Amino acid sequence: MNNTLCSLISFHFTGRLLIPVYISVFVIGLVANSWGLRFVLQNWEKIGNVNVFLLNLGFADILYLLTLPFLVTYYVMGSKWIFGETFCKVTRFCFNLNLYGSIGFLTCISVYRYLAIVHPMKVKGRIRVTYTVVIAAMVWLLVSVQSLPDMFYVKTYVNKTEQKCFDTTDMDYVEDYLKYSLGWTLTGFCIPLLITLGCYGHMIFTLCRRDTTDKILKERCLKLLFILVLLFSVCYIPYHVLKNLNLWSRVLSKQRICRAWSNGVYIARQISRALVSLNSALNPLVYLHGNEGIKARLRRLVQQGRQVVIQLSSTHNTVNDTV
C-alpha cells in the first residue's frame, strides 16, 4: 500500500477540459434543438407517435443546456460555486433528467420502430397519440423518481478557499452513493440498452429476411441504428462505467487503499463527463433522421451557404484581378 499515490490525482484537469466542451455543446445544442423543436411545433398537425418522443427529447436537451452557463462559470472561477447549495442540486438534477430522459425516449422510439416494422398489422390503428403522450409522461415520472434520491446527497463543500458543487457527493457518503449509482445504472441504463439492442437486432433480422422490404426503409433503420450505437458508445457507456469505477476508487481511497490507476480513472471519468454532455448536441441527429422536412431544409441551407461562398470567392478573385 502506497499512500502517496492518492495525492497524484489531477483535479485541475476537469476545468481545462469541460469549459470549452460545455461552451461548444451549449451553442451547437441550443441552435440544433431549437431548430428541431420549432419544426415539430410548426408541423404539429402532422405529428406522428414517434415525434411525440422527439419533442420530449428536445425539451430534455434544452433543460440541460440552460444549466451549462452556470457550470462554465463554476469552472472558470476555479471550481468555486457561487450559486448556492439548492441551485447546485437543481443543476445536477437537470443533468440527470436530460441523461436518463434521453435514454428513455430513445428506447421508446426504438420500441415504436420495432412494432411498426416487425408487427405492423397488430399495432395498426391501436397506438394513438394519446397513449404516446401518456408513455412520455411515465418516462418523465420514472426518470424523476430515479433521480430524486440524488438530491438528498450532499452536493456542496464550502470553506474559506473552496466552494465545490459535486456531480456525485462528498467523501463522507461515497460508499452509499456507489450502491445507489450501481442500482441507478442497472435500471436507468443497462435495461434500456438491452431493450434497444433487442429491438434493433430483431428489426434488422426481419428486414433482411423480407425480399419485398423497401430498400429505403432498410436504409433508414440502419441509419437510426448507427445513430443510437454512436450515442450509446460515445456518450452513455463510458460515462456509466467510469462513473462507478471512479466511485469505487474513492471508496478505496477513503479506506486508505491507494491504487496506481486512480489518477487514470479520474481523468478518464472527466473525459466521459465531457462526452456524455455531447448527447444534447448529437440528439438532433434523430430529428434529421425522422423528419424529411428538416433534412430538405438543411440541404437547402447547405446549398445556399455553398452558393454564398462561391459568390464571395468570385468577388474576391475579381477584385484581385482588378488590383
Tens digit of each residue's pLDDT (9 = 90 or more) over 164-186: 899 999 888 999 999 999 999 99
| pLDDT digits 0-9 by tens, 253-305 | 888 887 778 888 888 999 999 999 999 988 888 776 655 555 566 566 556 66
| pLDDT digits 0-9 by tens, 107-143 | 998 898 888 888 877 777 677 888 889 999 999 999 9
Higher pLDDT, 271 or 4: 271
Query: Where do we find the cell 434543438?
Result: 33
Q: pTM value?
A: 0.85
C-alpha span between 199 and 21 (Å, rounded): 32
Delimit the domains of the chain by residue range: 9-313
Name the pairing type of β-strands 163-165 and 156-158. Answer: antiparallel
Q: How many CB atoms sit inside 10 A of residue 33's CB?
A: 23
Closest CA to 58 of 128, 109, 105: 105
Which CATH code of 1.20.1070.10, 3.30.390.50, 1.10.3720.10, 3.90.940.20 fits the domain covering 9-313? 1.20.1070.10
Whether the predicted pLDDT of 21 surpasses 90: yes
pLDDT, mean over the chain: 83
Q: Are 53 and 112 in contact (CB under 8 A)?
A: yes
The DSSP call for residue 80 is B
- CA separation (Å) from 109 to 55, 123, 131, 303? 12, 15, 14, 31
Give DSSP secondary structure letters for 7-36: GG--TTHHHHHHHHHHHHHHHHHHHHHHHH
Distance between start and end Cα atoms, the chain: 74
- CA separation (Å) from 298 to 36, 220, 284, 291, 292? 11, 17, 12, 11, 10
